[in-house]
């Protein structure tokens, strides 16, 4: 589509804006982009009730857009970020961006039919997610204006002009042209705030936000218009608070943010807490424990062969005055399967790669770890990658640096190469980089009462009181001036944040996440050592023999409950009470398991379209999900690390994980087609839990039907930088 439209003299509106934007100082260009984005917001609701998006995703879409608008708000932009921004984007592209934003905001195009609406809404969402992932970076402003505007534009494209009052677009363009002129002449006091030009669109936007629990946001944007885009101290304070709310809350979407903000306001004053959790991952022997010790100014080496079992959470760092607890994981494959349940919270990750060992040099392994972090953190994490040059075996740095530009580019904060064991100076530089990052990002704002309660609960955990019952919790919350009617909200918040775990089945209790994680890993370690998949209550006496006070008998139920809840294992259906834990199953198919597929079987294959490995626990969870159908012969369960045999009613299946990246299901028997459908539904449910999307495609192969389910990782997981480059490179109009 050409850039046609109203002509200004002999140039188009678009070119006119571009030329004017080029002449503006960067911060003014930025302001202009932000203003365009805000003016474009009501377009998001051209289809009432935000029906342009999938219902289940509306809150996420809105949150992405509101968040990038907030991050680009002129009141949060510092001198430093302008400089960074300026270095990053040339004046030219910057001006084009501003013009694009303006142009799209005005939704001014003669040629309306060219683009399918949904595709654009998705693009806008992806664009926002890129910006979201990298909001700390200076170009968020541009991305926000641009992508909000794109969404708006898309919304317009898909709808006839009948939604708009007469001459709407002409008026809108005039307003935007006035905006840029006023910004040029430093006249920030009289921006046009006439919402009547939107016709019903503006009020519908507000009303529909209210209808979905986002009244808070309706008020924020209404106030901006009412005050002609001037923001008073209260508005600026709220803006700054919004940017500091815990990521775990933000990830829940616009409604969660709205109610979080309302709670802050209700509690009067706020408190900023600055704690983080550092997760150290990497293969066994990479140097994780050594690095954890060095960060703690401990210059000892772990004894060779003395690898970490489970997870060690003892180490607490003080980084520029901010407390960070370090979770040092054992690298054994068996543990990977249960990382997920403890890592969903927003954490900082250190990935240690050892340049010495073959396995660590293997690019696939590094991809595996990065993908694991991406999946488990919902693509929101930042990874500090450390290449351990133990024995001074330097790798070609290029090899590793390529990861920065690759698929995981936006995940990687930076790559450091040094000898962890002996290069104290580099360790200290690394520690400073970590501290600076945490200082810049690690603050979370809480209502004063909530933060009081949180501190008390953490203090209890620190005193080794790791199982806290309902009476105790109630007292803590009441002491912190949190009314009883509000207790559920607060316990739920603490659970979301990973501060204190609580689940419906636990009823009364909240638990220390460090404590329960350590317990779970000790169980897995025990099973691995004893080469068994079954553990009962008596076995736990042995597991915790040296930790009686930390893990008394009455704590066992919590550990089993949690493992069951997260599908790390499942309850033994008969006989002795206990858990069956698939990740402790034997590596290979045990002898004695018989498989007799019939010739007319059907095969379903599941693989990712990026052909990466499945996250480590994916297959184990699939085993758990099929627990009732797993064939067994007395105590012998037909399952192993990479396979299982199922027997449903009138159908059987052999399920195998191949090369960690392909699940092959061979199904035979009278009702094989129905059984196939059941299994596919189960896999699909699981895929959704991991934020994979799937699309099915059938093919015929040699008489047998081979069904491919081709999986895709959400567009959101593409690199931010790449997304940005695409946005610049691709003129969408
Ligand atoms: N010589 C030398 N040995 C190291 C270095 N880093 C780790 N090691 C040794 O390598 C082994 C594995 O290290 P460790 O930190 O336990 O690895 P983890 O499994 O990732 O926690 C231990 O025996 C360490 O003493 C290093 O920089 N130089
Ligand atoms: Mg270790």
For a substitution probing ligand 1, which of 279, 282, 285 has the most ligand atoms within 8 Å of its CB? Answer: 285
Q: What is the pLDDT of residues 172-215, one digit of tens each?
A: 778 888 998 999 999 998 999 999 888 888 999 999 999 999 99
Distance between Cα 317 and ligand 2 center (Å): 17
For residue 25, the model assigns a pLDDT of 82
Which ligand sits closest to the CA of 300?
Answer: 1
CATH fold, domain 514-584, is: Arc Repressor Mutant, subunit A (1.10.10)
Which ligand sits closest to the CA of 329?
Answer: 2
Asked whether residue 107 carries a pLDDT value surpassing 80, the answer given is: no
Asked whether residue 91 carries a pLDDT value surpassing 80, the answer given is: no
Asked whether residue 144 carries a pLDDT value surpassing 70, the answer given is: no
Give the Cα separation of 443 and 245 in Å (integer).
Answer: 8
Distance between Cα 420 and ligand 1 center (Å): 8
Give the Cα separation of 313 and 315 in Å (integer).
Answer: 6
| Number of neighbours of residue 79 by Cβ within 10 angstroms | 8
Q: What is the pLDDT of residues 640-661, one digit of tens each?
A: 999 999 998 899 999 999 998 8
Kind of pairing between the strands at 643-648 and 7-8: unpaired
Asked whether residue 543 carries a pLDDT value surpassing 70, the answer given is: yes
Helices (H), 50-157: 58-71, 79-88, 91-106, 117-133, 140-157
Asked whether residue 723 carries a pLDDT value surpassing 50, the answer given is: no
Q: What value, to the nearest 5°, has the Cα angle with vertex 96 and ends 92 and 98?
A: 115
CA dist list (Å): 492 to 497, 500, 502: 9, 9, 7
In the CATH scheme, what architecture does the domain 444-511 have? Orthogonal Bundle (1.10)
For a substitution probing ligand 1, which of 300, 301, 310 has the most ligand atoms within 8 Å of its CB? Answer: 301
For residue 341, the model assigns a pLDDT of 58
CATH fold, domain 273-441, is: Rossmann fold (3.40.50)
The residue ranges of DSSP E strands in 128-245, in sequence order, are none
Asked whether residue 220 carries a pLDDT value surpassing 50, the answer given is: yes
Give the Cα separation of 64 and 56 in Å (integer).
Answer: 14
- pTM for the predicted model, two decimal places: 0.79
Range scoring the smallest mean pLDDT among 118-127, 346-355, 701-710:
118-127
**461 vs 132: which has the higher pLDDT:** 461
Can you give the residue ranges of every domain in the chain? 7-190, 273-441, 444-511, 514-584, 602-716
- Residue 513, burial from CB neighbour count under 10 angstroms (0-12, 13-18, 19+): buried
Asked whether residue 254 carries a pLDDT value surpassing 70, the answer given is: yes
Atom 8, ligand 1: which residue's CA is nearest? 287
What phi, psi does 180 have (nearest 5°)? -70, -35
Instruction: Identify the residues whose C-beta falls under 6 Å from ligand 1.
Output: 282, 284-290, 301-302, 304, 307-308, 331, 352, 388, 390-391, 419-422
What confidence tier does 14 reach under pLDDT thresholds 50, 70, 90? low
Q: What is the pLDDT of residues 589-620, one digit of tens each?
A: 988 787 877 878 888 888 877 778 888 888 99
C-alpha torsion sign, points 488, 491, 496, 502: negative
Domain at 602-716, CATH from 3.30.310.200, 3.20.20.10, 3.40.50.150, 2.40.110.10: 3.30.310.200
Residue 559's nearest CA partner among 475, 642, 501, 477 is 501
Range scoring the smallest mean pLDDT among 72-76, 237-241, 505-509, 654-658:
505-509
Range scoring the smallest mean pLDDT among 142-156, 322-336, 414-428, 681-695:
142-156
Q: What is the pLDDT of residues 145-163, one digit of tens each?
A: 444 455 555 555 555 445 5
**444-511 and 514-584: identical CATH topology:** yes
Atom of ligand 1 nearest to the CA of 293: 15
Q: Ligand 2 is a single-atom ion; what residues have CB below 5 A from it?
A: 288-289, 308
| Number of neighbours of residue 664 by Cβ within 10 angstroms | 16
Distance between Cα 423 and ligand 1 center (Å): 13
CA dist list (Å): 80 to 27, 134, 439: 11, 16, 16
Residue 503 Rama label (left phi>0; alpha psi -120 to 50; beta)? beta
């Amino acid at each position: 589509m050409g850039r046609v439209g109203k002509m200004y003299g002999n140039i188009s509106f678009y070119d006119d804006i571009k030329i004017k934007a080029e002449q503006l100082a960067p911060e003014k260009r930025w302001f202009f982009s932000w203003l365009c984005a805000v003016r474009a917001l009501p377009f998001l609701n051209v289809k009432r009730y935000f029906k342009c998006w999938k219902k289940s995703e509306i809150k996420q879409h809105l949150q992405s857009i509101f968040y990038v608008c907030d991050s680009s708000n002129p009141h949060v932009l510092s001198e430093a970020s302008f400089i960074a921004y300026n270095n990053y984007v040339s004046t030219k592209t910057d001006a084009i961006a501003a013009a694009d934003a303006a142009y799209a905001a005005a939704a001014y195009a003669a040629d309306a039919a060219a683009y399918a609406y949904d595709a654009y809404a998705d693009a806008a969402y992806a664009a926002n997610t890129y910006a979201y992932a990298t909001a700390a970076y200076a170009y968020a402003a541009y991305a926000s204006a641009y992508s909000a505007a794109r969404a708006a534009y898309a919304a317009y494209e898909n709808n006839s002009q009948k939604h708009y009052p007469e001459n709407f677009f002409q008026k809108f363009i005039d307003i935007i042209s006035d905006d840029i002129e006023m910004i040029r002449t430093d006249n920030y006091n009289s921006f046009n705030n006439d919402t009547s030009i939107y016709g019903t669109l503006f009020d519908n936007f507000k009303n529909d936000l209210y209808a979905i629990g986002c009244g808070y946001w309706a008020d924020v944007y209404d106030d901006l218009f009412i005050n002609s885009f001037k923001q008073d101290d209260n508005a600026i304070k709220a803006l700054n608070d919004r940017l500091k709310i815990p990521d775990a809350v933000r990830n829940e979407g616009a409604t969660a943010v709205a109610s979080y903000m309302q709670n802050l306001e209700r509690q009067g004053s706020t408190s900023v807490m600055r704690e983080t959790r550092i997760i150290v991952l990497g293969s066994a022997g990479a140097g994780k424990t050594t690095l954890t010790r060095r960060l703690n100014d401990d210059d000892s080496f772990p004894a060779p062969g003395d690898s970490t079992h489970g997870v060690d959470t003892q180490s607490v760092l003080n980084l520029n005055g901010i407390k960070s607890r370090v979770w040092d994981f054992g690298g054994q494959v068996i543990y990977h399967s249960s990382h997920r349940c403890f890592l969903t919270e927003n954490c900082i990750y250190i990935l240690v790669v050892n340049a010495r060992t073959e396995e660590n040099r293997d690019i696939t392994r590094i991809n595996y770890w990065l993908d694991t972090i991406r999946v488990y953190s919902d693509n929101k994490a930042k990874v500090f990658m450390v290449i351990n040059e133990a024995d001074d075996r330097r790798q070609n740095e290029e090899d590793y640096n390529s990861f920065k530009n690759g698929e995981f580019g936006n995940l990687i904060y930076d790559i450091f190469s040094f000898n962890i064991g002996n290069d104290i100076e580099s360790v200290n530089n690394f520690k400073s980089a970590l501290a600076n990052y945490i200082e810049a990002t690690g603050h979370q704002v809480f209502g004063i009462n909530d933060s009081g309660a949180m501190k008390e609960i953490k203090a209890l955990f620190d005193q080794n009181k790791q199982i806290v019952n309902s009476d105790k919790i109630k007292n803590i919350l009441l002491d912190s001036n949190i009314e009883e009617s509000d207790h559920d909200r607060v316990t739920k918040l603490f659970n979301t944040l990973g501060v204190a775990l609580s689940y419906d089945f636990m009823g009364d209790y909240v638990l220390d996440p460090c404590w329960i994680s350590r317990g779970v890993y000790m169980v897995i370690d025990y099973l691995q050592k004893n080469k068994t998949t079954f553990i009962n209550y008596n076995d736990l006496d042995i597991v915790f023999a040296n930790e009686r006070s930390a893990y008394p008998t009455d704590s066992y139920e919590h550990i089993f409950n949690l493992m069951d809840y997260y599908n790390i294992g499942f309850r033994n259906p008969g006989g002795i009470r206990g858990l069956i834990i698939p990740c402790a199953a034997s590596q290979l198919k045990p002898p004695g398991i018989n498989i007799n597929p019939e010739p007319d079987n059907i095969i379903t294959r599941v693989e990712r379209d990026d052909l990466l490995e499945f996250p480590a626990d994916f297959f184990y969870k699939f085993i758990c999900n099929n627990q009732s159908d797993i064939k067994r012969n007395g105590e012998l369960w037909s399952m192993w690390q990479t396979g299982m045999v199922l027997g449903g009613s009138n159908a059987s299946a052999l399920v195998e994980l191949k090369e960690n990246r392909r699940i092959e299901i061979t199904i035979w028997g009278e009702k094989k087609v129905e059984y196939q459908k059941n299994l596919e539904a189960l896999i699909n449910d699981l895929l959704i839990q991991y934020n994979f999307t799937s699309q099915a495609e059938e093919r015929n192969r040699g008489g047998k039907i081979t069904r491919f389910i081709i999986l895709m990782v959400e567009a959101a997981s593409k690199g931010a930088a790449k997304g940005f480059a695409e946005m610049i490179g691709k003129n969408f109009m």
